[in-house]
Amino acid sequence: MAILKLEDGKILTDINHITQELAPLNIQLNRWPVQENPELHHLLTQDSLNEDQKAQVLEFLDDYFKQLQQTAGYQSRDLIVLHPGIPDLDGFMTKFAQIHTHADDEVRYVIDGEAIFGFVRPDDSQVELTVQPEEYINVPAGTEHWFYLTPAQRVKAIRYFIDTAGWVPQYTGREIRTRQTVASQA
């Protein structure tokens, strides 16, 4: 269940209310079920996955990719697996923790764990959205945002690309006024 924290401290958990709050940014947020497959669920319980295991996970969930290829022109996808055992995880995450934009949409389907996207809205207010398993998010190109992990530091997410070059961050230099981790309500 997605959790949206407004700058005034108000917390929203109803997806309809969250999508209303994010509507000025044209952010898409949907629930996409992870299929009931024992092999897939076994892979999702593991902290790290090798390249073959990642490919298996992607194959299990390729119906969503095929749908995005047909409806939005996505060309490729990968699976990012982040966990505390990754050397210099904090250093790796630093480049995403600053407000930035991309030339292409940032599209993620969280299949395990959780992460937080922060956004600058058109009225200059800032919000943070905790994205959890079975949630798909599309952050349109040019949207000022930042990204970081919750204290559990675990997420498995499929990233969809039209062109990977479009994902190079363009830092805005704007300060983050709110960066308070929203505790998972799992």
Inform me whether the pLDDT recorded for 186 exceeds 70.
no
Inform me whether the pLDDT recorded for 184 exceeds 60.
no
Q: What is the mean pLDDT of residues 117-122?
A: 97
pLDDT category at 180 given cuts 50, 70, 90 is: low
Helical spans, DSSP H, in the chain? 15-22, 38-44, 51-60, 62-72, 89-94
Q: What is the mean pLDDT of residues 45-67?
A: 96
97 close to 148: Cβ distance less than 8 angstroms: yes
Pairwise CA distance, residues 57 & 50, whole Å? 11
pLDDT for residue 144: 98
Pairwise CA distance, residues 153 & 46, whole Å? 14
Pairwise CA distance, residues 175 & 98, whole Å? 8
Fold (CATH) for 3-168: Jelly Rolls (2.60.120)
Please give the share of the chain, as a percent, with pLDDT higher than 70.
95
Mean of the per-residue pLDDT values for the chain? Answer: 93
pLDDT category at 58 given cuts 50, 70, 90 is: very high
- Helix, strand, coil percentages for the chain (3-state, nearest 5): 25, 30, 45
* pLDDT tens digit sequence for 91-119: 999 989 999 999 999 999 999 999 999 99
Please list the residues that pair with 30 across neighbouring strands.
136
pLDDT category at 171 given cuts 50, 70, 90 is: very high
Q: How many other CB atoms sit within 10 Å of the CB of residue 154?
A: 17
Q: What is the pTM of this model?
A: 0.92
The DSSP result for 92-143, as a single string, is HHHTTSS-EE-SS-EEEEEEEE-EEEEEE-TTS-EEEEEE-TTEEEEE-TT-
